[in-house]
Amino acid sequence: MSEKIEYGELFDLNCALLSQNDLFLLEKILLEDPRTDRVDIKISFGGTTVSAESFKELLSNPDLPASTDKLSINMQRWIETEDYKGISSGVSLSLNYNHINCQIHSLDQTWFLGKKSQIEKFFKSKKPWYLWLNKLSFAYPAIAVALVFYGSAMLGKKQYSHMILPLISSMVFIIVTALIDKQKIFAFVRIHLQERKKLRFGFAEWCMLIGALSAFATLVQVLSKLFK
Q: For residue 27, is it within any domain?
A: yes
Final residue belonging to a domain, choices 102, 125, 148: 125
Do 42 and 61 share a structural domain?
Answer: yes
Please say whether the dihedral angle defined by the alpha carbons of residues 56, 58, 64 and 69, taken in this order, is positive or negative.
negative
Do 135 and 97 share a structural domain?
Answer: no
Do 205 and 161 share a structural domain?
Answer: yes
Q: For residue 158, is it within any domain?
A: yes
Query: 87-105: per-residue pLDDT in tens?
Result: 899 999 999 988 999 999 9
Do 145 and 41 share a structural domain?
Answer: no
Q: For residue 12, is it within any domain?
A: yes
Mean pLDDT of the residues in the chain: 84
Do 141 and 83 share a structural domain?
Answer: no
**Phi/psi at 108 (nearest 5 deg)?**
-105, 115
Contact 162, 221 (CB under 8 A): yes
Q: For residue 2, is it within any domain?
A: no
Contact 95, 16 (CB under 8 A): yes
Final residue belonging to a domain, choices 107, 125, 143: 125
What gap in Å lies between CA 173 and CA 154, rounded to an integer?
A: 19
Domain range for 142 is: 131-226
Number of domains in the chain: 2
If you average pLDDT over residues 106-129, what whole number do you get?
94
Q: For residue 146, is it within any domain?
A: yes
Do 203 and 189 share a structural domain?
Answer: yes
Q: For residue 64, is it within any domain?
A: yes
Identify the pLDDT of residue 7.
Answer: 94
Do 120 and 11 share a structural domain?
Answer: yes
Q: Can you give the pTM of this predicted structure?
A: 0.77
Do 143 and 88 share a structural domain?
Answer: no
What gap in Å lies between CA 105 and CA 115, rounded to an integer?
A: 10
β-pairing, 189-192 with 16-18?
parallel
Do 222 and 135 share a structural domain?
Answer: yes
- Containing 1, the helix (H) or strand (E) segment is none
Q: For residue 167, is it within any domain?
A: yes
Give the list of residues 6+ apart from residue 17 with CB closer than 8 angstroms, or none. Answer: 126, 127, 128, 187, 190, 192
The DSSP-derived string for 36-91 is: TEEEEEEEEETTEEEEESSHHHHHT-TT--SEES-EEEEEEEEEE-SS-EEEEEEE
Query: 114-125: per-residue pLDDT in tens?
Result: 999 999 999 999
Count the neighbouring beta carbons within 10 Å of the beta carbon of residue 189. 21
Do 68 and 30 share a structural domain?
Answer: yes
Q: How far apart are the first and last CA of the chain?
A: 82
pLDDT band at 111; cut points 50, 70, 90: very high
Do 120 and 42 share a structural domain?
Answer: yes
Do 208 and 108 share a structural domain?
Answer: no
Final residue belonging to a domain, choices 125, 159, 194: 125
Give the list of residues 6+ apart from residue 72 with CB closer than 8 angstroms, or none. Answer: 41, 42, 43, 92, 93, 94, 95
Identify the pLDDT of residue 1.
Answer: 42
